[in-house]
Amino acid sequence: ASQPTQVSAAHISFAQPSWNTPTSVSEAITRTFASASQAQAVAAHEAILNAVANNHAGTYYHIALPVVAELCQALPSASPWAQFAAVEALVDLCGSFEPEPEHAIINSPTSGLPIALREALVAQVALSRPTLSTIVGAGGPAAASATSLLAVIE
């Protein structure tokens, strides 16, 4: 499986949790795509949420948008347990989580215009519908989560 690129220096400009270190995001992404067991996948899922969100409050920061893009981009070539970790994080972020109140609007990475963070996040994940359908059809560890995610992004 190919490894996603590390979070670039450009991502530093995105608002993120105050507890993050300079490597929190890249380590969480690396951990996700290195997952080779259920235990590693569960830990990676938690690492992603802690790097982009306040897991206890169920809120996320602007950094969630580029991280979600990287997770989605790497999904097709990821191992089954890496897919599980990534899809579980995406289910939480698109389903029960909301943006931090002061982070509900973000400037679009493409147009520079203000957009709703939640809508941008769900739209990014929606681009992965074909991959998610393939994951469901494969019946692996992420199949049930991918089914849930497809329902959430409808």
At 48-104, the pLDDT tens digits run 999 999 999 999 999 999 999 999 999 999 999 999 999 999 999 999 999 999 999
Percentage of residues of the chain with pLDDT beyond 90: 85
pLDDT > 60? residue 11? no
- Digit-coded pLDDT (tens) for 137-152: 999 999 999 999 999 9
Check whether 4 has a pLDDT greater than 90.
Answer: no
Lowest-confidence pick of 35-44, 86-95, 103-112: 103-112
Token pair belonging to 144: 């049930």
Confidence of residue 12 (pLDDT cuts 50, 70, 90): low
pLDDT of 112 strictly over 90:
no
The DSSP secondary-structure symbol of 140 reads S
- The total of other beta-carbon atoms located within 10 Å of residue 147's CB is 16
What is d(CA 29, CA 82) in angstroms, rounded to the nearest whole number? Answer: 10
State the DSSP H helix or E strand holding residue 41, giving kind and residue range, or none if neither.
helix 38-52
Question: Would you say 125 and 135 are in contact if contact means Cβ atoms under 8 Å apart?
Answer: no
Distance CA 118, CA 122 (A): 6
